[in-house]
Each structure stands twice: as structure tokens, then as C-alpha cells.
Amino acid sequence: MGLLDGLLPAYYESILITVGIYIILALGLNLITGVTGQLNLGHAAYMCIGAYTSAIMSMHYGMPFIVAILAGGLLAAAFGVVIGYPTLRLTGDYLAICTLGFGEILKSVLYNVPAVGGAMGLAGIPPKTTLTIVFIVMIIVIISMVRVESSRFGRALVAIREDEIAAECNGINATKYKLQMFSLGCFIAGIGGALWAHKIMVLQPRDFGFLKSIEILNMVVLGGLGSIPGTILGATVLTSIPEILRFSSEYRMLLYGALLVAMMIFRPHGLMGGVSFNSIAKRGMRWLKPGDKPDDKPGQKGMGG
């Protein structure tokens, strides 16, 4: 059994798992859109690829969960390369609409492939995603993102976002870096999708539509583009708000829409725009730094719940 599983009431555990998965997904998108500035409106497509791949791996080939997760991430990354290679030379909104288009195409194709169940989708995926596993993966992804951010690679990505021509003139092969970044972002999305698949147990193409991509994008923008703590906060807030607003059933999405507008007007750079873990650390805010919490060192992997 996992270290964290069963400590909390099942409802909270379920929400925390969802939050964790969304943090992972949002961090992947933050790398693409926040750090490198390439607007991606089709992030859910890569999540979808990861989810389907891992589900097939678990169900048809009986692979261990870790293999299924990695396979999901890798195939999503491979698709990221295939899609990214021709499209990443487009800029701004043209890239955005291409990523959106790919998402819709993928959905449309999945409806027509009987091998993955068409509209009925895949069902009976073993529920292997536990809070412990999500937490471990999330911590790994957060640490990776922090490391990327403060590396030569991360600086190159920000340079591309800030001024692509100046970046090229300073020795950065923008096309190559964008492609690497895009596939890394897609890899993370694929992993998030794999965790999702093994929590929800059922996959249908319509779960991964444009709205899902927008939902993840909202998390990144709300938290503050390019800011890792911001993205984590954004994912947490936006995943919990609908849960908190649960009782206003009919008015919930109405409020959600209004909240987005208000947020952008009063705080266009997001809740924590420009805040990084390093800057928090520098200010002595040790309690927000990853690795400080006692639960950060899980002794063993949780299997099954």
C-alpha cells in the first residue's frame, strides 16, 4: 500500500488525485505556452494519446503500471515531434489554431477506430492510480521543471519567448529547442493522461476535446504564465473551485466564466506571474519549496488502491 493512500477521506483523496494530475498536465503546458510562449490549444490531445496508450498497455499487454505510464508519455512525445516539426515554424495564432486543429482531428479519428472502441471508448482500465503515485510523479515533474527552468535549456526557451531573432543571434537553434521543449511538454501531458486513464477507468474521445485543453490553459494563465508555483496554484484553484462551487450546480459554470474575465482584468499576469521557486526561496519562504515537507520522501511505491 502506498504511504499516502487511505489517510484522507476518500472524497478528498479523489479530489487530491485530480488536482495532482491537473498540476502535472498544467506544468507540461506551462513549459510550452508559459516558458517558451508557443500558444498550444490542443494540449488535451497529447493527454489523450498518453491515456489511450497506457490503457492499452495495461489492458491488452498486462504491462506494469510504470511501463504503461512511460509508454503513454513516450508516444505522446513522439506525436509531439511529428506535429511539432512542421507546425512549430508557424508563429502565434497560426500555431495555436494548428494545435487546436490537431486536437479535433485526433478526436475525430478516434471516433472512427473500432480498435479503441470508437465513441464507446475503452472501459475496464485497472484503477492503479493512487494518491501516492500521483504525488511521486507530481514531485518528479515539479523538480524536473524547476531544473529545466534554471538550466541552459530553460534560459534558451525563455529567450525564444522573449525575442526569437535575438535568441537565434545568440546561438540558440530556436527550431530545435522548440521541438525538444514541445515533445517534453507532450511527454508530461502523456504521463498525466496515463494517470488520468487509470483513475477514471473509462476513456472516450469526447473527454479530450477543446474544452479540456482550454481548462488546462486557464490553469496556467490564471497561475501566471511561465511561473511554476503559479501553475501549481492555478491548477489547484481551478480544480477545486468547481468542487467548492459544487452546490451552485446550475450557476457554477456561469460563475467560472465570469471569474476568468474578472481575473484577467484585475490581474492579467495571473496570481503569481513572474514568481519562481527560486525567487520564493530567495525571500526565505521555505515552506513553499518542494522537498521541505515531510511527506516528500515516500518510502515505497503504492500499488493499487
Partner 1 sequence: MPLLELNEVTIRFGGLIAVDSVDLVIEKGEILSLIGPNGAGKSTVFNLVTGIYPPTAGTITYKEQRLNGKKSYHINRLGIARTFQNIRLFPELPVLDNVKVGRHCRSKASVFGALLRTPAVKAEEKAIEQKALECLELMGLDHKKDEAAKNLPYGEQRRLEIARAMASDPELLLLDEPAAGMNSTEKKVLVEKITSIRDMGLTVFLVEHDMKFVMGISDRVAVLDYGRKIADGSPTEVQKNPDVIAAYLGKEVV
Partner 2 sequence: MFKTKNLFLLVTFILIAALVAGCGGGQTADKEEGGGAADADVVKIGFLGDLTGDTAVYGQNTLDGMKMAADELNAAGGVLGKQVEIVVADHRYDKAEAANIVQKFINQDKVSAIVGDPTTGVTKATAPISNGAEVVQMSAGATGLGVVEIGPYVFRNTLLDTVGGPATIDYMINELGFTKVALITAVNSDFSVGLSKIFKDAITEMGGEIVIEESLQEGDTDFSGQISNIKNKSPEVIVYSGYYTEGGLLMKEARKQGMADIIMIGGDGLQAPTFWELGGDAVEGSISYCGFSPEQPTEETAKFIADMQAKFNKEADLFNAQGYDALKIICAAMETAGSADPKVFVEALAKTKEYPGVSGVTTFLENQEPVKSPVYLLQVKDQQWTLLKKVPVEM
Partner 3 sequence: MLSNLLVQLINGIALGSTYALIALGYTMVYGIILLINFAHGEIFMAGAFVGLMLVTVFKVHIIFAFLGAMLFCMIMGVIIEKIAYKPLRRSTRLAALISAIGVSIFLSNLANLVFGAKPTTFPPTEEILFKIQTYELIAGAQITNLQILTIVTSAVLMVCLQYFIKKSRIGKAMRATSQDYDTAALMGVNVNRIISYTFAIGSSLAAAGGVLVGIYFGVVKYNMGFMVGLKAFTAAVLGGIGSIPGAMFGGLLLGIGEMLAVALGLSSYRDAIAFGILILVLLIKPTGLFGTQIQKKV
Binding site for partner 2 (CB under 8 A): 9-11, 13-15, 18, 21, 111-112, 118-121, 123-124, 127, 196, 199-202, 204-207, 237, 241-253, 255, 259, 267, 271-272, 275, 283
Q: Is 81 in the site for partner 3 (CB under 8 A)?
A: no
Taking a C-beta distance cutoff of 8 angstroms, is the pair 83, 46 a contact?
Answer: no
What does 33 bind: partner 1, partner 2, partner 3, none (CB cut-off 5 to 8 Å by kind)?
partner 3
**What single DSSP character describes residue 114?**
G
Q: Which residues of 114-127 are buried (b: 16+ CB within 10 A; e: fewer)?
A: eebbeeebbeebee
Give the nearer residue to partner 3 in terms of CB position, either 253 or 285.
253
For the CB of residue 108, give the shortest distance to partner 1 in the complex, in Å: 32
Task: Out of 86, 114, 124, 171, name the contact with partner 1 by CB under 8 A.
Answer: 171
For the CB of residue 112, give the shortest distance to partner 2 in the complex, in Å: 7
Inter-CA distances, 294 with 21, 147, 222, 236, 289, Å: 21, 21, 28, 20, 12
What does 248 bind: partner 1, partner 3, partner 2, none (CB cut-off 5 to 8 Å by kind)?
partner 2
Taking a C-beta distance cutoff of 8 angstroms, is the pair 167, 53 a contact?
Answer: no
Q: Is 108 in the site for partner 1 (CB under 8 A)?
A: no
Q: Is 62 in the site for partner 3 (CB under 8 A)?
A: no
- Mask of contacts with partner 3, 164-203, x by CB under 8 A? -x--------------------------------------
- All cell numbers assigned to 88: 512549430
Number of residues that bind partner 3 (CB under 8 A): 45
Q: Is 112 in the site for partner 3 (CB under 8 A)?
A: yes
Residues 6+ apart with CB under 8 A from 42: 99, 100, 101, 102, 103, 104, 106, 210, 213
Sign of the Cα pseudo-torsion (267, 270, 276, 280, in order): positive
The radius of gyration of the chain from alpha carbons, rounded to an integer in Å, stands at 19
For the CB of residue 61, give the shortest distance to partner 2 in the complex, in Å: 20
Per-residue 3-state assignment (H helix, E strand, C coil) for 168-184: HHCCCCHHHHHHHHHHH
Give the nearer residue to partner 2 in terms of CB position, either 16 or 181.
16
Burial bucket for residue 14 (CB in 10 Å: 0-12, 13-18, 19+): middle
Q: Is 274 in the site for partner 1 (CB under 8 A)?
A: yes
d(CA 169, CA 96): 25
Q: Is 167 in the site for partner 1 (CB under 8 A)?
A: yes
Give which of 20, 19, 23, 45 is closest to 182, Cα–Cα.
45
Q: Is 260 in the site for partner 3 (CB under 8 A)?
A: yes
What does 159 bind: partner 3, partner 1, partner 2, none (CB cut-off 5 to 8 Å by kind)?
partner 1
Inter-CA distances, 231 with 84, 223, 271, 282, 283, Å: 23, 5, 9, 19, 19
Looking up cell 457554477 gives 252
Residues that bind partner 1 (CB under 8 A): 144, 147-148, 151-156, 158-159, 162-163, 165-174, 180, 184, 226, 274
Residues that bind partner 3 (CB under 8 A): 33, 39, 86-87, 89-91, 93-94, 96-98, 100-102, 104-105, 107-109, 111-112, 165, 210, 214, 217-218, 221-222, 225, 250-251, 253-254, 256-261, 263-265, 268-269
